[in-house]
Amino acid sequence: MPATILDGTTLANGIRSELAVTVKTMAAAGVRPGLAVVLAGHNSASEIYVRGKVKASEQLGLNSEQHTFSESSSTGELIALIEELNHRDEIDGILVQLPLPQHVDSKKVLMAVDPAKDVDGFHPVNVGLLSTQRPGLVPCTPAGIMEILNRSQIPVAGQEAVVVGRSDIVGKPVAMLLLNANATVTVCHSKTRNLPEVCRRADILVAAIGRAGMITRDYVKPGAAVIDVGMNKVADAADFKRLFAAGSPDSARRLETFLMKGSVLVGDVHPEVAEVAGALTPVPGGVGPLTIAMLMYNTVKAARMRRGSPILEPSRK
């Protein structure tokens, strides 16, 4: 029986609907949460992501600002803007779109963000709050993964979870969130021995490694919930053929996209995993929409926390 597809777009729309009610209530009290997005350079993918975030903010009724710098901008210029945004009361969230130009010291820039406005959840203060289970701002993609599991009624407590990838942005924080939710967690990486064997123990398998289709059916325990965080562009015909055999589900639509655009977006999980897993997030349309929804959630949460309001918690629908 094929896996249940976990529709991230539908789940994200549910979160946005809940937030819209909260934002309307806050507006009636004279508070409009504000998000400032900082973009430096001319990375086309970053520009697309920023447009999506600004549009989502506006649709929700948030105050949204975009600050764009040239490729030659310095670390000092970016930090000066962030310090200004830190002191502006109408700005509740500051997001620095990564990657920054190569000559910019990204760590210094991110450290300059006030932890109370760090809607990406990357500041060491927020990392510490997460690790000690104290209220703070949680990285958006990991938080979105937990929402997918919770809203899809996938049990976490007592389950064995395996996270493939140890990045500060996804791997480490999602492992901490799963641990805080009482899962037994294993984090894997490039030095892990017998990786397929370790992954096959998982009731919940999170793939966040950035390698197209690496997680095949041999990595997956029958019936497991598989969360695919990967966003990989496949432009090579041989790679496409490896991932999408003729006649497989979805292959015709994917081939049409590949022939028209010259590439196709795929995750870290091979499509054949749908034949083994109990539940699976698609790429695109899985984790991605939740990431933007949780950015909106973090902005509203930051606005409430900064003003001493009760912390907003997502409902479990």
Number of H helices, E strands in the chain: 11, 11
How far from the centroid of its chain's Cα atoms is residue 34's Cα?
20
Q: Yes or no: say if 117 and 86 are a contact pair by the CB < 8 Å rule.
A: yes
Whether residue 92 lies in the annotated active site: no
Which of 92, 114, 118, 120 is catalytic? The answer is 120
Q: What is the DSSP letter of 107?
A: H
The dihedral region occupied by 173, where left means phi > 0, alpha psi between -120 and 50, and beta the remainder, is: alpha
Which of 53, 117, 172, 221 is catalytic? The answer is 53
Whether residue 97 lies in the annotated active site: yes
Label residues 145-162 b or e (16+ Cβ within 10 Å = b). bbbbbbbeebebeebbbb
How far from the centroid of its chain's Cα atoms is residue 47's Cα?
17
Q: What is the DSSP letter of 247?
A: T
User: Locate tokens 């123990």: which residue?
Assistant: 201
Whether residue 120 lies in the annotated active site: yes
Which of 92, 97, 118, 228 is catalytic? The answer is 97
Q: What whole-number distance in Å separates Cα of residue 183 and Cα of residue 229?
A: 19
Active site residues: 53, 97, 120
